[in-house]
Structure 1
Amino acid sequence: MPADVLLKPRKLPACDRCKSKRVLCHSQPPGIPCPRCVENEAECITSPVVRRKPVRKPKESSAGLEQDWSPSPDSAPSSSSQPTPSTSADVLPSVLAPSPYTSSSPTQTTMTSISGPLVVHLLECFTRVPQHRHPLLSLPALRQTLAQSNWRLDLLPPSTRALAFAVLATAALVSPHPSILGEGPVPTSLEELGAWPALTDWASFGRRRQGACRALTEEAFRAAREADITVNWSTESAVTCYLLDFLDSRYGPPNRFGRPFGISYASQSRALAAEWQGIRDQARWFGWLTEESLSSTYFGSQIIFSAEDHRLLYGAETVSPEEFASSLRNTSTFHDPNVAFSATLPYSIIVNDAARTLEETITGAHARRQPFNEVAALNFQAALSRLEHLATLIIQRIQFLQPTSTTTLFPEGDHEHAPPKRDVPVQYALRSISYLARTGYSVLTLAFHRELERRARELPAPTDEFAARSRERMDLLRRQVREVVIRAGHEVGKSMQQLPSLPHVTHFRGYRLHLWAQVLLDSAEGGSLSPETVSALESILQILKLTLYTYIDPAVPPAIAQIETALLPLHRIDLPPLPLDPFADYAYFDPLLTTTYNPTQDLNEWFTAAMVAFEGPPGGMEASSAM
């Protein structure tokens, strides 16, 4: 046999995304995306690999990287080595670069120094993002340590230095400082941005801050490696791991097969809580754990905090949805904001339990490999209906307490010597509760809907009566859940009208607005959109454009173009959103969904009853009148 027959064909090179995530790439011929990119709805790009003679890299001096930075004109990428995706001109090559903690290539931006005044400015900006309220973070202590070191980061202990860089990199995403944005128009303050015209090119800010944010982020990961924060456990290391996990997610969807800093954050939080006397910061912990559960559900990754961790961090309280709903319906307490505040804990517990159930039975890695579990799907559908009802009751209370709500893009931060403003925190808290209520059930609804659609696409054509009946039940379930997800999309639009702050979208991974835009656009019947859908798309469009102020998400520019194309014939792009009725009964509840499926019940009997409940009796109006 000739020798060339024994040679295996050379494997095609891996795509950029699989290489950055360090996972096996099932490479396809040119022009065909790999399966992993198709599954994650990502642009599949394969950069040409140029073999060069290895060059010894001189060791960098960390002391020279610490006080201000400027983009290096000599480090601009060449067109041959940095392909630009064809989806949008706004997508920068550096956005699709490898994650900072896995990248071995030199940064495209050179950090020369970080001045003391700039460090002070970034610390003030950090108070405008939700991360500054994390229960493990003591921002005054970090500020005091920096002041004692004369604002020089090279004089800090290794773990504190890693935390400082992580904080500065997170704050740089919203900073209006000229050293961050570079050349171009610069607002005098974050408050000024709220008065800028609606046609402002917000994407220009995201492009201009790209180099500075990338440099700060890479320095944060470098400092974390030097301090071994995943090995040397402490409160400081735990919160640094949390911030680095967030920063890594800004470079694309988190790798569902590994979140090293996220897992270390959960492990260290668990170990710290085990040594506490009682529970600390319960009110803040359940909010952060809920955000983590919802973010993991959105991206299809594993929920890194277990049920035992939740009990350890915010208590072992059990909640009955029926009793909770009964307390929310009590109209005599509508004027008491404390009832709305106290509702966040039981609602978060129910959301976290539902997210874990969804992962274990329907959307998790193990559940996705198993045959479709109809019983689990029906039970989750019923739980989702109850969760929607609870969210509606909470939102009605907030609307009663706060009938008109004005969104501030960047609310005033917690200054060390600022006078107390008791009304501002209350209004901010009410908007945050309303945001949590809508986010809680809408995220789970979208994840459930997407998994059902994926299952339906993979189902083979039925070959017998049993398979045909199973397919009919699946189609019915999909139609019912599609109705729920459209209502949830309308609620997402309303939540965009009453945001606590813009960083609640840009600095939390819980909302992927471009997916909601696609759901609402797909809901058009006969090419026409309902008024509720148009209003929701208008609100989502406005916030999507504003998010480009912080960074350029590759999925956002195409979503903006799709929404504008759909709204342009209606001449509704610049119209204000529809007003909200505080007591509007805008949630439709199917009685069928409020009853948990009984495993002893015959699925075909359930299917027949469901068809009548969902579509009416056979024969339409005549059959109904005959009955």
Structure 2
Amino acid sequence: MSSHPCKNNEQAKRKKSPACDYCKARRVICHAQPNGPCPRCKEKGVPCTTTAPAPRRRRRTRAEMQEERAMKKVKGILSPDESEAQILQVNDIRTTTRELYNSVQFSPAYSHCVTTPLGSPNPVSPSFNLPPNLIAELFQTFRILPQSLHPVISLDEVESSLRLASWNLASLPSQLRLLAHIIITLASFFSTNAVIIGPGGYGPEIACIALSQGPLKEAAVPDLREYGVRRKPVCYQLWAEALWLAHQEGITAHVSRENAVSCWLLDFLECRFSGQGVSTYAHAYNGHLRCLAETNIGALPGCSADCPETAVLYRAYMMHDAVYAVTNRRSIPFSHSDELLIVGQCTTSLEQLLQTFVSGASNKEIFLSMNAFTSNTIRVARESSERLTGVYARRQPLDETFVGGHFISLDLLHSILLAERGRALRAAQSSTESHFLRSCVYALYITWGCLVLNFHELLLDRLKDSSLVDSVATTDCDAQERLGTYFTRVRHLALGAAVEISEALTDVPCISRITHLHCGEIEKWAKFLLEESKTMAKGVGPNRLLRALECYRNALKIVGFSWVDHSGLVESIDRHIASEMPDDASNVDCMTENDYTWNLFPSMQFVEI
């Protein structure tokens, strides 16, 4: 009993009153008195006041520290050049996330997108105020998307203007404000920020897949489609505001470099959701480039007169736009004269290009030779549109002379791709070059595959139409038989392309190249291969088909990280694989890669690879 008073006395002695403001400012010992001024203040004749100390900061739990470390690690991967001052801190996210996310749940843009899953939202005036730190983070996220590599985009200039404006979009000039708004809109489809994907944050599977050097080579690819659903309200709100700003600015009519970039990015978003292939923004973008190139030689940085490396990038994006238009049965939005004006003339043929690839050139020479590959691909796409797959050409009799030459062009492009993929795999030991080469190989493979699949769809439609017209079909049995032969050959060609594209897709080094590059074509190839595998396609072993289907299924799971998946292909492929998976896992294909390629492409026998 006697021990308790002693303990209380000791605690009272240890609990010393805080120093007064006068002693604290002079850093001297203060003998604070409970009922009066301290001796020093009394001696000096100054008022003795004591300010209450600030409350101590609560210690973070281990779980909170682990969460913050994981978030910084992922953001370091997604935006490696970003300084810590530009990253939205965890505490700021927690205080603003729920209010910002809830503010768009019932906006006009989101209510419109709920009723029409495909297509652009209705334009709405800007009302979604993003914090400056979040704008800075989204801008850095955009730098890792493939769209950021377009040479007409000057990201450093835009970022410099944003810094001077303290990351306040409203303080920028109108055209620059619109461009910055569209940039953060596109980046929001890839962001992991809780303001974008909702207050629930993200799980550890995001960190795993973001750190991977081969996302589709992982033993277990996570299903990320829930994040595409969660980010949809905020992304659609930002997109609707960008459309409103674009209409107010009149970017399709007023020629400038900033408006050209804005049109190109808006065309990507609109085509991604509508599936139309070409929008009015695409024609405006190419019109802006044409006017800038005609009126001012220096208006377009890095054209053919400046440096060949940048000219390759210009032509690569033109190749993408051309092939994407052709595969959606639309006219190519730029002419051959526009191509010559912007990137100059290329006289290297496919045969000469193939010799470059097999002669052991350096990686830089191979990259520069891509100028010839993209130029010839644009030529093949233009000829295909005008004489084979375009709307006018489809209404005319089949040009069988052109069909034979088209097969040869596709085979030559394929031979070049085989050599390029082998070089990319050999360069895997050099991480600095492997990342870029593997991304290029995938982009070129799927571009070539789009031409093949478009060719296949054309002949399939003509075969169906000819079978419906009995009186006409019986008068020309030879033409009917030749059409069947052409279709059989292009069907085998498309099957081989589907498998090889899946293999190139497996080598893609980061998820941004899967979510924001040809993601619509992945869905087309998955659907095509699923239908063909159900009919027991000949020429490709069942195990190779199943592996390719698994690759496309996993890729669609990653694509769903950015975009809402309405196809239902993931579940369809899972059901098919479950029904077709052989009991004996040792039953592998006996056909080698060389035999497979030789059998599918007989016209390559004159080509020495």
What's the TM-score, normalizing by structure 2?
0.73
Alignment deviations for residues 564-589 of structure 1 (CA, whole Å, 9 cap, x no partner): 1111135599x9xx99x998565226
CA distance in 1, matches of 2:105, 2:185: 23
> Mind listing any 5+ residue stretches in structure 1 that lack a counterpart?
1-67, 83-91, 405-422, 597-627
Aligned partners of 2:409 and 2:532: how far apart in 1? 24
SS at match of 1:226: helix
Q: Does the 8 Å contact 1:294/1:440 carry over to 2?
A: yes
Aligned to 1:253: 275
Structure 1 residue 311 and structure 2 residue 356: aligned? no
| 8 Å contact kept, 1:439–1:492 | yes
- 2:136 & 2:204 partners in 1: Cα distance? 16
Query: Which string of whole-angstrom CA distances, capped at 9 and with x for unpartnered residues, describes residues 102-128 of structure 1?
Result: x36x69xx9441110000110111011
Tell me, in whole angstroms, the C-alpha distance in 2 between the residues paired with 1:559 and 1:194. 24
8 Å Cα contact 2:192/2:202 also seen in 1: yes
Report the AA paired with residue 456 of structure 2.
Answer: H
Give distance in 1, aligned partners of 2:600 and 2:197: 51
Amino acid at match of 2:267: D
Partner of 2:251: helix, strand, or coil? coil
1:163-188: CA deviations, max 9, x gaps? 01100000000000000011324258
**1:266 and 2:286 matched:** yes
Pick closer, same or farther for the CA change 1:188–1:163 going to 2, 3 Å.
Answer: farther
- The answer to whether the aligner puts 1:588 opposite 2:598 as a matched pair is yes
Alignment of 1:529-540 (within 5 A): 530-540=542-552
Q: For 1:589 and 1:138, how far apart are their aligned partners in 2? A: 47
Aligned pairs for 1:81-480 (under 5 A) are 93=114, 96=117, 98-100=119-121, 103=122, 111-186=127-202, 191-194=207-210, 198=220, 200-254=222-276, 259-274=279-294, 275-276=296-297, 279-280=305-306, 281-330=310-359, 333=360, 336-402=362-428, 424-459=431-466, 460-463=468-471, 465-480=474-489
| Cα distance, 1:552–1:94 mapped onto 2, change above 3 Å | farther
- 2:420, 2:236 → 1: CA distance? 40
Q: Which moved more, 1:380-389 or 1:393-402?
A: 393-402
Q: What displacement does 1:461 show?
A: 3.9
| Contact preservation (8 Å) 2:499, 2:545 | yes
Q: CA separation in 2, counterparts of 1:173 and 1:111?
A: 19
Matched-pair contact (CA < 8 Å) for 2:103–2:128? no
- Aligned equivalents of 1:539, 1:477: Cα separation in 2: 29
* Partner Cα distance (1:586, 1:390) in 2: 17
Q: Aligned with 1:209: secondary structure?
A: helix
Equivalent residue, structure 2, for 1:482: 491
Within the candidate set 522, 525, 532, 1:516 is matched to: 525
- Cross-structure match for 1:54: none
CA distance in 2, matches of 1:591, 1:360: 25
Residue identity matched to 2:149: R
SS of equivalent residue, structure 1 residue 549: coil
* Higher Rg: 2
Contact 2:389–2:458, Cα closer than 8 Å, also in 1: yes
Distance (Å, rounded) in 2 between the aligned partners of 1:76 and 1:154: 21
SS at match of 2:274: coil
Matched-pair contact (CA < 8 Å) for 1:505–1:511: no
Contact 1:291 1:510 in 2 (8 A): no
Q: Distance in 2 between matches of 1:550 and 1:486?
A: 28
- The letter for the 1-side match of 2:341 is L
Q: Which amino acid aligns with 2:259?
A: S
* Pairwise CA distance, 1:525: 7.3
Code of the residue aligned with 2:418 in structure 1: it is: T
> When you count helix as a share of all residues, which structure comes out higher?
2
Q: Does the CA-based 8 Å contact 1:69-1:179 persist in structure 2?
A: yes
Which residue of structure 2 lines up, in the alignment, with residue 559 of structure 1? Answer: 569
Among 550, 559, 567, the residue aligned to 2:562: 550
* Moved >4 Å (runs of 4+): 187-192, 525-529, 570-573, 581-586, 589-592
Note the C-alpha offset of 1:251. Answer: 2.4
Secondary structure at the counterpart of residue 588 of structure 1? helix
How far apart, in 2, do the equivalents of 1:76 and 1:513 lie?
32
Residue identity matched to 2:224? W
Equivalent-residue separation in structure 1 for 2:593 and 2:365 (angstroms): 17
Aligned-pair distance for 1:215? 0.6
Q: Which residue of 2 aligns with 1:71?
A: 102
SS at match of 2:101: strand
One-letter code aligned to 2:120: S
Q: Distance in 2 between matches of 1:139 and 1:310?
A: 24
Are the counterparts in 2 of residues 382 and 595 from structure 1 also a CA contact under 8 Å? Answer: no
Q: CA 1:147–1:368 in 2, change beyond 3 Å: closer, same or farther?
A: same
Distance (Å, rounded) in 2 between the aligned partners of 1:158 and 1:206: 30
Q: What amino acid is the match of 2:210?
A: G
CA distance in 2, matches of 1:427, 1:195: 16
Spell out, residue by residue over 1:492-549, the C-alpha distance to the aligned partner (whole angstroms, 9 max, x if none): 1112101143232332347522221222223337648622211111111111111101
Task: Tell me the amino acid that sits aligned with residue 376 of structure 1.
Answer: F
Counterpart Cα distance in 2 of 1:301 and 1:223 = 27
For each residue in 1:361-405, what CA deviation from the matched residue of structure 2 results, as whole angstroms up to 9, or x when unmatched? 111121122222222222212221222122212222222333x7x
- Could you say if the C-alpha distance between residues 76 and 232 of structure 1 is closer, same or farther in structure 2, counting changes exceeding 3 Å? closer
Point out where structure 2 has 5 or more consecutive residues left out of the alignment.
1-98, 213-218, 299-303
Deviates more, 1:172-181 or 1:339-348: 339-348
Distance 1:194 1:94, change over 3 A: farther
Query: What is the percent sequence identity of the aligned residues?
Result: 23
With 298-307 and 438-447 compared, the bigger mean Cα shift is at 298-307
For 2:155 and 2:384, the matched residues in 1 are separated by: 36
Give the alignment of 1:15-54 within 5 angstroms.
none
- RMSD after superposition: 3.2
Q: How far apart in 2 are the matches of 1:322 and 1:316?
A: 17
Q: Which amino acid aligns with 1:488?
A: A
